[in-house]
Amino acid sequence: MERLGSAWDGNALLAIVGLPDIIVQEASKSLVKLSIVMPARNEEGCIITTLERFTAVLSANLPDYEIVVVDDGSTDATADRLRAFSGLHPEVVPVTNTGRHGFGMAIRFGLAQATGDAVAIVMADGSDSPEDLLKYYVKLQEGYDCVFGSRFIPGGCVVDYPKHKLLLNRMANAFIKLLFGLKFNDITNAFKCYRREVIAGMQPLIAPHFNLTVEMPLKALVRGYSYAVVPITWTNRAAGVSKLKIKEMGSRYLFIVLYLWMEKHLARGDYHRTVAAPNEKGTKINA
């Protein structure tokens, strides 16, 4: 890809990612630097491939970004490979979670290190697409507070998704949609993007495990932040082993969902912040 000029060319990026030809708002909500928080635990088989993909695409298309990779207690060569790669790529910032381990704890640690105007959560296993992250960036430039991807709207897809996990995923998301009255159908996927003020507004984050992937978007929605939805592609990992243990996580996901349902219905708006989306629309789906 040809690198965009020093002045961020929003319409050129729109053409690259295939979104409609619209004028990107250069308003007060425009952002410059994007941070990616990438938790990694024993990902020696795929971490470098993932970083190579993201640095190639982002360096060619964004004015400023960083990838904060959080080593969450790896016992393999993940840390060594990160150090070697970051020596050649200063935009990659390896950090070590020295506290309690867990997917959610690693993300929370990474959020505290991120310096960008917005933060995207990206998996280290290569399941997320850097081209989809460009779509997120474009939607943020329109003024939205958050951008969520869906694998289950027209234009989205999954590749090699284990059938039993897919069934459980669809059941869990249907339950959350019904409980919260949502149209969005992919809450449980971690790959989402938030402005810095949204991250601040959803504090304190409490989920220490994979249930953080539900806590963050639901808090953003319950507390009134605007969001856009774009179709994304998810591809199953080519190396390593998934760290998600469904039997251990079911009750933890339910706890977070019910906790935020109670906030929505019982907190009387104590934590709510209403932010008008562009053109006074609360959501927008590019299908």
Q: Tell which residue, 181, 179, 161, has the closest CA to residue 169.
A: 161
Going by pLDDT thresholds of 50, 70 and 90, the confidence category of residue 4 is: very low
pTM of the model: 0.84
Going by pLDDT thresholds of 50, 70 and 90, the confidence category of residue 158 is: very high
Lowest-pLDDT choice from 123-127, 224-228, 233-237? 233-237
Residue 287 has pLDDT above 50, yes or no: no
Of 29 and 60, more confident: 60
Q: Tell which residue, 33, 38, 55, 190, has the closest CA to residue 115.
A: 33
Going by pLDDT thresholds of 50, 70 and 90, the confidence category of residue 9 is: low
For the stretch 95-98, contacts whose Cβ atoms lie closer than 8 Å and that sit 24 or more positions apart, written own/partner, are 95/68, 95/69, 95/70, 95/71, 96/70, 96/71, 97/70, 97/71, 97/72, 97/73
For each of the domains in the chain, give its residue range(s) and CATH number, in order of start: 31-285 (3.90.550.10)
Question: What would the two tokens of residue 257 be?
Answer: 């969902």
- What are the Cα distances from residue 175, in Å, to 167, 184, 187, 188, 253? 12, 12, 11, 11, 12
